[in-house]
Structure 1
């Protein structure tokens, strides 16, 4: 019953933030006001606020009050990493699931930006930096982020960054690409497909990129 009440308060506080149009950094009403508004005990309100803090929805500044947070996707990173690695110990199922979700997301984003000349120039620069082992990883990450930015989808950008970080922390389970040339070729194929404005070519290019990782998982 206590858990249910706490969840009700979590939902109610989120609704309050939305109803009042509060933005990240705006102060929430103090605890006594929340207790009065929701007819709730202090401990229940504090428990709900701690839950919201863990989700990044609020920020508790001791001595100053509680403020609306930015609800960054990074708060999901420990949970997603745990699910990926815990399920990967025997059959790497968790890592395969993560790759499948990434592929679905990135295929649709790449299809959305076909023919974008400015993006193509940016991606070409990323590929050039992939040739240098010292900058390859950062350039690889930026390549995928630039597609999200060009697609104009901020949520997709946050998810891509989250998936990227979790994958990199799990990559030790399958090893790194065998050589920089392979990394460059896979990404160049995506650029060529975007340039051609061929939706099916985009799908195949993104699929080939993730197939290389899946082959490493199978070999591992």
Structure 2
């Protein structure tokens, strides 16, 4: 099972658990360890799911107390977006396009805000990781852009994108290196050209 499918399955089962147990906003949910044992998923996968849900504002972790359901009834973004996407073919294409635009805007922000230290950390990570996913790479890029709202929207869009496109695309390691080289040279044209090449885009 791919990492995105594991994430979606954990979220799905957690939602079912909340419904069955009759939990409501303010109630405590199982810890990472407890949920990992209960669902038989790796602790790291559960941690990733919890982190994403917290970034989306659906749960919150209180130091020394645990993890709790937040009152998100006033924000039906996820449900509305899901209904919109599932009923409209053009909307499915819009998800892919919007996800790409967010990644490109974050690359532009990184060009403005990144220093040599952050670039060195990214270089070390990409060289040490024997296998990394496209999600892991761009998660780091978006974190470096220091735009929390972009990160929230991107997390939502990528999960919908994978739910609609279960076969994930594969990318070449060399294309990520070209992208990093563009960032290192602080060359926007070169960076975006490398991104277009990575995504196999000509124009939107």
TM-score using structure 1 length: 0.49
State the partner residue of 2:168: 176
Give 1 or 2 for the bigger CA radius of gyration: 1
Q: Could you tell me which residue of structure 1 aligns to residue 126 of structure 2?
A: 127
Match of 1:197 in 2: 186
Equivalent position to 2:177, from 179, 188, 202:
188
Aligned mates of 2:71, 2:125 — CA distance in 1 = 29
Query: After superposition, where does 1:11-160 map in structure 2 within 5 Å?
Result: 69=70, 76-88=77-89, 93-114=90-111, 116-128=115-127, 131-132=130-131, 136-137=132-133, 140-160=134-154
Aligned equivalent of 2:196, options 200, 207, 217: 207
1:170 deviation in Å?
A: 1.7
Q: Shift of residue 203 of structure 1?
A: 2.0
* SS in structure 2 of the partner of residue 113 of structure 1: helix
Count of residues in correspondence between the two structures: 140
**C-alpha distance in 2 between matches for 1:176 and 1:168:** 7
Off by >4 Å, runs of 4+ in structure 1 = 68-72, 128-131
3-state DSSP class of the match of 1:106? helix
CA contact (8 A) 2:104 2:195 kept: yes
Quickly say closer, same or farther: Cα 1:116–1:86, change in 2 above 3 A.
farther
TM-score, normalised via structure 2 length: 0.53
Runs (5+) with no aligned partner, structure 2 = 1-25, 27-55, 59-68
**Superimposed CA distance per residue, residues 119-158 of structure 1 (whole angstroms, 9 cap, x where no aligned partner):** 32343355347653xxx33xx2232122222222111111
Q: Deviations over 1:88-141 (max 9, x none)?
A: 3xxxx3232112212222212211222532332343355347653xxx33xx22
When the two chains are superposed, the root-mean-square deviation of aligned CA atoms in Å is 3.9
